[in-house]
Structure 1
């Protein structure tokens, strides 16, 4: 096993010293292994022996032609091998598998190579991301996978680098910084490779950045083009790729507004899809910065290309067409969710379409030849921001009350920023002609800013919302209602008939991505710790494996030596478990055991016995009393800066420490050393001295103590303490004792 650790300084030095000759020397060029991955393989996906890119092939249907494991025998499927992963944070990557080698990423942008049959680790690569970058990652320190091309693997890192590695050895060939590290940019999505170019986007709109996508030469790392998704706030020119398009979209933005300071958002943090039939590149563009359209653009204009799908010429990055799903986006309704390509019989003719089930709750079928809307219907119940779409104009029929910044009244929106469908992969089967959506119902209240805390700050979300008052009220019935109201489902959607064909309900949201096969199967993991297989045509459950931890990622399947395998990453994290607290229900109590699980027919491997699940004893709370005003101040500060990682009401979601049960609550000096002095910055818990005084940090501590007292009195000790502590690793246990994030 080889272990490589690259610091940002070393990465910069390597880029300075490398050239085409160096990169070609390091790349594997033989027509086997990753060396065989080219346009032909990524266009077709091959015969199913390989899973050569994150969505299987350029259509990104996540559908495999393999049939050895099928609806008739999947009940015989068992664990073939497993590998424990090092970081108990969100596991969101889909493995890629080429000629018997499996490559998968984990938190902190680490990359691992395994023998796909035995599970033997071949090498691992740690890019050495500074843990302080975590405070600029809106939704955990995750990574969704790598791209392969002609002997190289391409990895995007949380700190904005794009790194090319030799697939045989894990040795870096080149590295380029794709973002301005003085701004809160991140990369969590998988790169795509098209025409010998690596295409990568970024994230960071919650903190204040301007979105763009860049193409780099796969051999040398030289920049080929860059396309910006929103206008330049300064009015300056950016380059040929996007200047012409930006001139057209600039009138859809106000002359002033906070976008002038924030950059406007529009980050492309996940979906980038290449259409090999039409030679078009599709970008799924994200939310505005700040979310609040009333502040961002003074309530004026559609703000293109926010919440849009944009088609570009892949060779140059030039604009072709766009479709905006949510004009004047104001609810964090991104269009970054997975995009799938297909040809479907609609209206008596074969239509080349793209499909997407984004955050806002509508399933879109769009003609990819011209960007015109074919259909849009609600795929989850209760959507209340709009009643439907006008197919002539392509615009939603909005509920006026949803524009909270105009009415001055809070609006409980369904779905919310956490989405009817988030990043979890959606699959499509050309056999059943059904899309398989990992859907959920999670509402949220949107409120206009009400205090100076809600203005732009150097740390934390800058979304133009009243975050401090958006937590659960002190009402046990309301907390239980929120828990019961947040649910999930697997929806089999018929894009031709424009309606669901079948549905499986889950008691909690944030279940895993889907993968379909020609064996009439759909695979999905659940938040409560199962890996399941369903009949793709009927939804009948055919298989379940107790993974012992929640599963969010999408699976992949492959064949080696005449045997089919199914691989999936297990482990919890991401936006919802970090931020929502009580509302994820029983999922809070599911241990977080990061593992790679690989299955085959008649697999005989077994997971080690889980440690005893004895609930952690609640720590004694300090008896000191403070003025109600100090507690109230602490609540506002916690809501503004802390809840996105430690959960609403400091309840925790079972991933990071439950602060209601932190021993540090009793130690004011240690609390100050963490929040103000940055004692745990190397673990990702940075100092908040830029936005809090020592006295305010103590107000946060007093608020959490007060919240913990209420929870223990009204919700019971189990709700206050959580249950994963007994199963925690030594490092996790130490982290809980110190309150590390």
Structure 2
């Protein structure tokens, strides 16, 4: 193992020089900062590298580079492209340090690339078993790596945390982050390195897990601390006072611990070196239905919350819960941004947050005090927030009997697609959206019970909800929203053609960059939203761009590849290409890679089936297939084909794909122990019957 000798001691001279104020104790003034901290702080001024997930510890995704400006951005051309060799969603924010780019592809494969030329330096495949893919709700993407002190850290989809040698790609250490292998935990998020620890959370709330976040020694991989986000069984000792406090907000009659409770930390983590605090965003409840997991009500801490922790010990410091008693999959795991803003004639240290529930929050990051919240899209689950920071929830949103057309729906008004903040314009740039969905509490629900007609219950989902029992009335949209966090109002917006657009980047050139679902990379004037440049790429974009400088030249890079939970079944572009990194400069001369046209062929026909089995097939399809394949012939098919447009040979031989593992190497689950040949006949009847019905209506 590498010895832990990478710390340097930076001693402040303020006390010694200010003789009139006396000598300050060295222990008070000395700041132990590792090399990564120093490098990130220095790079915040130069912008030459993109050394951390959100560019800096504040995760503002703002670069001080200004070679590319509003005046010349129209001249951007392709410098190079790099084939990631993947067919699923590419969610990675590349890390660029000293001319080397580290970027991840689906199935947690890491690529090191020459940032000048796009030449491959090395790759590392953690060899995640493809059968593990069904344990993830939302594709097999990975949002990136952390790089510190010569090591590259990443989380494998199957729950391992791995450290690689940054120069060679050889594995240095590996540790299993999953405490209970009987539970379907996953990792899709990027780890962070705060001080001498590498920190990672996990996913799996839909499947019934208990959320936690863990810190490991950055040199050895040894666990340093673990903090749970929700309480465990109250008949057993609580891990700490925070869990004891949280348990008072849950009703034990619901035996919430059997379904884990949820609260997974699957994305956002941020660090304030000055305050020596880290902040995390926590996820939704397991199950989604509030009254199934906690029949007596209660806020259910620490679901859907921002929590401040001590990065050295993992001890709880404060929290602010954005969605008490979450009932709509309103995670608070979306990226958190730190900023210093003028609030009521006083500069406040705040954090900015735009989670799934549609409200933009400004919270004091020293104390957790609520400052303000306003909706950045239309919402109908709450009418606003009171002075204490609690939402005023509508009665319809809590209905136990009626379907509720949730706005926003479970996909969120803002999902994991990164927002950014410009200290120059004082605006935040949000990939906002609405994907319609109606929800209704199931009258009865039991943990891990498979039930035909209950969304993905055959694959382990535990929502306690019927999804879309009635057709939702809201309309889908995707837009880029520039938001003023001081005035709490929209400054400008740009309407996209589809939801599920990529994250944003803002620069000192007064630019905002964003990739789109319809396969474009775009640049806008950060002040007024004027579109200044766009270029077509070979696939829809869901990740966020980065910018960096090599040899005095500014580059803009985006890792493109359509997918994610919405992108599995829908698409905004008919272009198809393997996951690809595109890099642009003002004098680029590269030719773009060739792409294919997505072939949405004719509706499947010519397959014998028994129409009387179609109704039972519908229930089985909803319980086992719909999240990945969509509604046959209705949805367009995204990263995974829509079966209504399949080749007739595929539907005729459906048993081979469902029961015999023909596509197991691509992540197709083996249902041989869950479905029978008779069940497959019913599913086939539903697919063909739906195709015939649509064909007749056309």
Residues 74-473 of structure 1: pairs in structure 2 closer than 5 A: 74-179=73-178, 180-233=180-233, 235-237=235-237, 239=239, 243-257=240-254, 259-381=256-378, 383-391=379-387, 393-405=388-400, 408-449=401-442, 452-453=451-452, 454=454, 459-467=459-467, 470=469
Number of corresponding residues: 664
Q: Give yes or no for contact 2:353–2:360 (8 Å, CA) kept in 1.
A: yes
More displaced stretch, 87-96 vs 591-600: 591-600
Residue 606 (structure 2) pairs with residue 607 (structure 1): no
2:667 to 678, 681, 684: 684
- Deviation sequence 1:130-167 (CA, Å, 0-9, x none): 00111011100000000011110101010000001100
Cα distance 1:299–1:568, how it changes in 2: closer, same or farther (>3 A)?
farther
Distance apart, 1:448 and its partner CA:
2.2
Q: 1:595 to 1:489 in 2, by over 3 A?
A: same
The structure with the largest helix share of the pair is: 1
Runs of 4+ deviating beyond 6 Å:
27-30
Of residues 561, 565, 579, the one that matches 2:555 is 565
Shift, 1:256, TM fit: 2.2
Q: What are the residue-to-residue correspondences of 1:687-726 with 2, within 5 Å?
A: 687-714=670-697
Residues 311 and 320, structure 1, Cα contact 8 Å, conserved in 2: yes
8 Å Cα contact 1:652-1:659 kept in structure 2: no
- CA displacement 1:27-78 (0-9 Å, x = unmatched): 9999xxxx99511223454410110011000000000000011111111111
8 Å Cα contact 1:146/1:190 also seen in 2: yes
Q: Is the 8 A contact 1:162 1:177 kept in 2?
A: yes
Pairing partner for 1:488 from 478, 491, 500: 478
TM-score (norm 2): 0.91
Counterparts in 2 of 1:384 and 1:246: CA distance versus 1, 3 Å: same
Q: How far apart are the structure 2 equivalents of 1:613 and 1:458? A: 30
C-alpha distance in structure 1 between counterparts of 2:649 and 2:293, whole Å: 38
| Contact 1:160–1:181, Cα closer than 8 Å, also in 2 | no
Using the alignment, how far apart are the partners of 2:64 and 2:146 within structure 1? 21
| More deviation, 273-282/648-657 | 648-657
Q: 1: distance between equivalents of 2:501 and 2:343?
A: 31
Query: Does the Cα contact within 8 Å between 1:413 and 1:444 map onto a contact in 2?
Result: yes
How far does residue 548 in structure 1 lie from its aligned partner after superposition? 2.6
* RMSD, matched Cα: 2.3
Contact 1:434–1:492, Cα closer than 8 Å, also in 2: yes
Contact kept in structure 2, 1:332 and 1:417, CA below 8 Å: yes
How far apart are residue 507 of structure 1 and its match?
1.9
In structure 2, the CA distance between the partners of 1:456 and 1:645, relative to structure 1 (3 Å rule), is closer
Q: Is the 8 A contact 2:539 2:573 kept in 1?
A: no
Q: 1:456 to 1:606 in 2, by over 3 A?
A: closer
Q: How far off its partner does 1:648 sit?
A: 3.5
Secondary structure of 1:637 counterpart = helix
Flag the 1:238–1:114 CA change in 2: closer, same or farther, 3 A.
farther
Equivalent of residue 646 in structure 2, options 656, 662, 668: 662
The question of whether the paired residues in 2 share the 8 Å contact of 1:577 and 1:647 is answered with no
SS of the residue 1:553 aligns to: coil
Aligned to 2:414, what secondary structure does the other structure show?
coil
Does the 8 Å CA contact 2:456/2:627 hold for their aligned counterparts? no
CA distance in 2, matches of 1:614, 1:262: 41
Identify the residue that residue 56 of structure 2 maps to in structure 1: 57
Structure 2 portions without partners, runs of 5+ = 9-32, 445-450
Change (3 A) 1:231 1:320: same
Q: Could you tell me how far 1:505 is from its partner in structure 2?
A: 0.6
The answer to whether the 8 Å contact 2:256/2:293 transfers is: yes
Q: CA deviation at 1:637?
A: 1.5
- When residues 643 and 553 of structure 1 are mapped into structure 2, their CA distance, relative to the original with a 3 A threshold, is same
Contact 2:159 2:177 in 1 (8 A): yes
TM-score, normalising length from structure 1?
0.86
Partner in structure 2 of residue 42 of structure 1 = 40
